Structure 1
Amino acid sequence: MGFFSKLFGLDKESEQPETVVEPVDYQGFQIYAEAKAVSSQFQVNGRICKEIDGELKTHDFIRSDLFMMPEDANEVMLRKARMFIDQMGEGIFD
């Protein structure tokens, strides 16, 4: 049924609007908290970005922590990303 749904434009997933994530600035880095749905839970997931010498550097940030609510996963993402930045600085992108 999934093939025919997509073929005839009845795919519910494609109808959902894409969410825009606003970054949180922290010490010159931009943190994007993007909780990832895994089964009926949400995984800590996101990106840490910074422009260095005119080039946008990005580090994908994924942890195994799972939460019932995406807001909880995003809150932990921000907290862990800040600690990671404090520990590694621009070394994140090496």
Structure 2
Amino acid sequence: MALFSKLFGSSKPEAVPSEAYKDFTITPTPEKDSGGWRLAARIEKDGQVHELIRADVLQSKEQADAASVAKAKQVIDEQGDRLFG
């Protein structure tokens, strides 16, 4: 399997570590799109999960990871626990 990954590239991008923010856990989960990487993140708190997906598409996965975390923080600041309700 490792040989095929090296030859043809991995089908799964490397995972980015989660980040703690105001009692929430943010995990960037950008999705491959035809034009680049779509912003997405998983926001968790006390066993509750919110999947954040935006229309924004960025050229690189690294940019999408950073933007996904920034957008998740903005949503947490605006909505807090109402995010799950």
TM-score, L = length of structure 1: 0.73
Partners of 2:40 and 2:77 in 1: CA distance: 18
Higher gyration radius (CA): 1
Q: CA deviation at 1:39?
A: 1.5
Contact 2:26 2:44 in 1 (8 A): yes
Q: What's the RMSD between the two structures over aligned residues?
A: 2.2
- The equivalent position to 1:78 in structure 2, one of 39, 54, 69, is 69
Matched, 1:88 2:79: yes
TM-score, L = length of structure 2: 0.80
Partners of 2:22 and 2:11 in 1: CA distance: 31
- The equivalent position to 2:41 in structure 1, one of 46, 58, 61, is 46
Contact 2:30 2:37 in 1 (8 A): yes
Change (3 A) 1:20 1:68: closer
Partners of 2:16 and 2:63 in 1: CA distance: 15
In structure 2, the gaps of 5 or more residues are none
Structure 1's consecutive aligned runs of 4 or more residues displaced over 3 angstroms after TM superposition are 15-21
Number of aligned residue pairs: 79
**SS of 2:55's equivalent?**
strand
Trace 1:1-94 onto structure 2 (pairs within 5 A). 16=10, 19-51=14-46, 56-94=47-85
Q: CA deviation at 1:22?
A: 1.7
- Identity between Structure 1 and Structure 2 (%): 26
In structure 1, the gaps of 5 or more residues are 1-11
